[in-house]
Amino acid sequence: MRKENNYARRLHRRAFRRQGWLACPTGLPLVKTRILAHDAPRLPQHVARLDRLNRDTHHAAIEQQIVAALQRHIPHVHAVLCSDYQLGLLSPAIIGTIRDLCQQHGVLLTVDAQGHADYYRGVDLFRCNDREAAATLGTPLQCEDDFQSALAALRERLAVRTIIVTRGPDGLSIQGQDTPYRHIAAAQLSEVYDTTGAGDTFIAVVTLAIAAGIEPLLAAHLANAAAGVAVRKFGNAVVAPHELVQAMRRRHY
Question: Which is it for the CA torsion 153, 157, 161, 166, positive or negative?
Answer: negative
Establish whether 200 is a catalytic residue. yes
Among candidate residues 70, 134, 147, 80, the one with its CA nearest the CA of residue 112? 80
Q: Identify the helix (H) or strand (E) that includes residue 97.
A: helix 92-105
| Side chain identity at residue 207, one-letter code | T
The kind and range of the H/E element at 73 are helix 60-73
Question: What is the rounded distance in angstroms from the CA atom of residue 246 to the CA atom of residue 226?
Answer: 10
The residue among 25, 7, 24 whose CA lies nearest residue 16 is 7
Residues 6 or more apart from 57 whose CB is under 8 A from it?
Answer: 24, 26, 27, 29, 87, 88
Question: If we measure between CA atoms, which residue out of 77, 71, 133, 129 comes closest to residue 98?
Answer: 71
Query: Residue 17 corresponds to which amino acid?
Result: R
d(CA 191, CA 107): 37
> Do 159 and 197 touch, CB atoms closer than 8 A?
no
Of residues 100, 146, 170, 200, which has the active-site annotation?
200
Catalytic positions, written as ranges? 200
